[in-house]
């Protein structure tokens, strides 16, 4: 499945637009990760723990997005947008929303 943030596919013709699709993933960081991330924030530097959780959430959202596109008969998703939000008390939950347009191209 071809996935791109661009509205078209260079050198290819989009023959059918199958609709806007989206996928949402919410992942919680556990208590230990919160403590370690907080310490990293206090002392400075990057938080590898949170970066790993963020990457996992992004990957899952993209997997779900491509699965939804395949169910529609698409062979690509164009115009992909990824949004990231923290939710819950203290921002302990991470939400990733992936959206795009499912298409058939030749």
Check residue 44 and report its DSSP letter: -
The Cα 72–Cα 74 span in angstroms is 6
Task: Kindly report, residue by residue over 25-52, the tens digit of the pLDDT.
Answer: 998 765 445 555 555 555 656 667 777 8
Residue 22 burial by Cβ neighbours in a 10 Å radius (0-12, 13-18, 19+): middle
φ, ψ of residue 11 to 5 degrees: the values are: 80, 0
* Stronger pLDDT, 81 or 89, i.e. the higher one: 81
Find out if CATH 3.30.110.70 is the number for domain 2-105. yes
What are the φ and ψ backbone dihedral angles of 49, each rounded to 5 degrees? -65, -50
Report percent pLDDT > 70 for the chain. Answer: 78
pLDDT in tens, 61-77: 999 999 999 999 999 99
């Amino acid at each position: 499945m071809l996935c791109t943030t661009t509205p078209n596919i260079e050198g290819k013709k989009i023959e059918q637009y199958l609709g806007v699709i989206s996928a949402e993933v919410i992942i919680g960081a556990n208590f230990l990760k919160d403590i370690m991330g907080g310490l990293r924030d206090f002392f400075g530097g990057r938080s590898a723990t949170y970066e790993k959780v963020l990457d996992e959430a992004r990957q899952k959202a993209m997997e779900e997005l491509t699965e939804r596109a395949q169910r529609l008969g698409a062979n690509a998703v164009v115009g992909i947008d990824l949004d990231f939000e923290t939710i819950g008390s203290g921002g302990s939950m991470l939400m990733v929303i992936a959206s795009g347009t499912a298409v058939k191209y030749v």
